[in-house]
Structure 1
């Protein structure tokens, strides 16, 4: 019988599989997108904040879903060198290549022919400021935590998403005071514009779309503690 538990290091490959199997179509159809995605959106959370990462176990030890994240994005970014050294730089040959310019901004994830810009995607893996901080000052002023939920198709629609979220929220909502002395109002997430079909799912879990002073193709959603 399936159950929820905390992440453990032996889940590494299973987490990557879930990430790849639940990608939006534009990334899922790209070999580079599938290869890099777990390094951009999954492995850094399980490496840097394992106590706030939760797995849906199929009952035989195999992850079939997860809710992962961190309570303090600023601290997460400050500690990111550990992820680069311990995970990215020692990834299997050909898996992740360190871009020469880690600070380049505004480079599109998709090229003119529709293919994935592998360098830009790898840059997001290596530079957490580009991934989470740049352009998000208004969000980070109040909402210091972030998270991702992904479930394999065979366990969707069974209530596990809500249960996973409850476990995650329970692990972070008590962390109101951040390392830098600021306080957090709750969690924020970004939903790709071409994946808007999941917005109602998050709304059922207590999130709402956050109106922002900048235009974006991404849906930004927040949930208060």
Structure 2
């Protein structure tokens, strides 16, 4: 069952984020602090705009989620001013750590910037599913639910970032109707415009 996320789901969001945090695979062994990845990529969305967060509930346990915001610029401003200062105190810069930890330290200690394409794709999302959810059409249902919320708010477009190493996710997003809008050395941004559309094909 897909339902709106609530604050009591937060421990499950952290768990899902950790278990999918290494390009879709389990990041448990790559992090000394299992909460680190969720502190950046999961929890803030539930506090900033909970109405844009949904979970897959299987037998009373959230096992997947889609989280995001209608307004990336407003989200990043809030993240930089309200959320990241706490994380920077909790995670002072460190060395001798895994590549994933190095990446997390880097983004925690840098202000998030709003990409130029946000004018056309102002919303963004993150979606993660545990194996129990995969291959059951639940990813598509989550995408449809999120895009429906965006259309209700008259958002013109949605984007997401994905590692180029995560080929399975790239194929899934293409199937959902997203197209590449910008590419970096190890990642690309994909998006979908919502005006004059009714479904993600």
- TM-score bracket, normalised by the shorter chain, equals 0.7 to 0.9
Change (3 A) 1:99 1:172: farther
Looking at secondary structure, tell me which structure has more strand per residue: 2
The separation in 1 between residues aligned to 2:151 and 2:110, in whole angstroms, is: 26
Quick one: distance in 2 between partners of 1:38 and 1:207? Answer: 25
TM-score for both structures, normalised by structure 2: 0.81
2:187: which partner in 1? Answer: 218
CA contact 1:5–1:57 (8 Å) conserved in 2: yes
Contact 1:145 1:186 in 2 (8 A): yes
TM-score by length of 1: 0.73
Q: Which residue of 2 aligns with 1:152?
A: 130
Q: Conserved in 2, the CA contact under 8 Å of 1:27 and 1:116?
A: no
What are structure 1's unaligned runs of at least 5 residues? 91-95, 101-110, 177-183
The 1:17–1:117 alpha-carbon spacing in structure 2 relative to 1, beyond 3 Å, is closer
8 Å CA contact 2:31, 2:98 repeated in 1: no
CA-based RMSD of the aligned residues comes to: 2.9
Residue of structure 1 equivalent to 2:107: 124
Deviations 1:188-220 (A, max 9, x none): 11111221221111111121122x3x6432122
* Equivalent residue in structure 1 for 2:140, among 162, 173, 180: 162
Which residue matches 2:170? Answer: 199
Q: Which runs of 4+ in 1 moved over 6 A?
A: none
Is the alpha carbon distance of 1:56 and 1:76 closer, same or farther for their aligned partners in structure 2, counting shifts above 3 Å?
same
Could you say which residue in structure 2 is the equivalent of 1:173? 151
8 Å CA contact retained: 1:143, 1:222: yes
**Residues 118 and 150 of structure 1: is their aligned pair in 2 closer, same or farther, counting only changes over 3 Å?**
closer
